[in-house]
Amino acid sequence: MQMETDRLVLRRITGDDRPALAAILQDSVTMSAYEGPFADAEVDAWLARMLTRYQRDGFGMWAVTLRDTCAMIGQCGITLQDQAGTKVHEVGYLFNREYWHQGYATEAAAASRDFAFAELGVHTVFAHVRDTNLASMNVAIRIGMTVRSRFAKHYRGVEMPHLAFGVDRPAT
Ligand SMILES: CC(C)(COP(=O)(O)OP(=O)(O)OC[C@H]1O[C@@H](n2cnc3c(N)ncnc32)[C@H](O)[C@@H]1OP(=O)(O)O)[C@@H](O)C(=O)NCCC(=O)NCCS
């Protein structure tokens, strides 16, 4: 699986991406919505979980790379997530801080949304955003999402209020 946008290539994450992955997951500013940076073992577990998702679901968070240099600048993609007791298709995005504020997350999230509609036949794609994460809300809004509900996520021992943003597949 590989997707291309104007500036980006989205492809499966591999073990070779671990350093680029760690640069994202171990940065304290980037990980503030996740209660702080990951330890090495948490990075390994994240990588293993993505490989399992590819095998089990056929999709997951992908490596986002620059078309020009092939550098991995972030991760974005679709995962199955629990939303107040229901499994939904969620678009996720986490980018290396050096590449924020250039529209890359929005470009990758829009491509992931369209993949879910076109390839997975999903009716509604969601984004789960912690209620303090304004940058993430703005990406959701930029890809056409509106707030559908509120719910709490329990992650790393903390209860985190979240907004469920959603966008419906356009009628054809
Ligand atoms: C969420 C996250 C990916 C958003 O990153 P971001 O840089 O704000 O979003 P984008 O890459 O879409 O960039 C949008 C910005 O680029 C600007 N921009 C510049 N060139 C652009 C272009 N060619 N196209 C679109 N926007 C462009 C936009 O005006 C916007 O500016 P702003 O930051 O002043 O609002 C980033 O904050 C992050 O990785 N956070 C940590 C992980 C996280 O919390 N993930 C979400 C969990 S729910």
CB 113 within 8 A of CB 150: no
pLDDT digits (tens, 9 = 90+) for 114-140: 999 999 999 999 999 999 999 999 999
CA of 41 to the centre of ligand 1 (A): 28
Q: Which two tokens stand for residue 64?
A: 């986002």
The verdict on the CB of residue 30 being under 6 Å from ligand 1 is yes
| Ligand 1 atom with minimal separation from the 133 CA | 44
pLDDT digits (tens, 9 = 90+) for 38-58: 999 999 999 999 999 999 999
Taking the chain, what is the end-to-end CA distance rounded to the nearest angstrom?
25
Q: How far apart are CA 164 and CA 145, in angstroms?
A: 9
CA of 94 to the centre of ligand 1 (A): 10
- pLDDT for residue 133: 96
Domains of the chain in sequence order: 2-168 (3.40.630.30)
The verdict on the CB of residue 93 being under 6 Å from ligand 1 is yes
What's 100's DSSP letter? T
pLDDT digits (tens, 9 = 90+) for 48-84: 999 999 999 999 999 999 999 999 999 999 999 999 9
pTM higher than the cut 0.85: yes
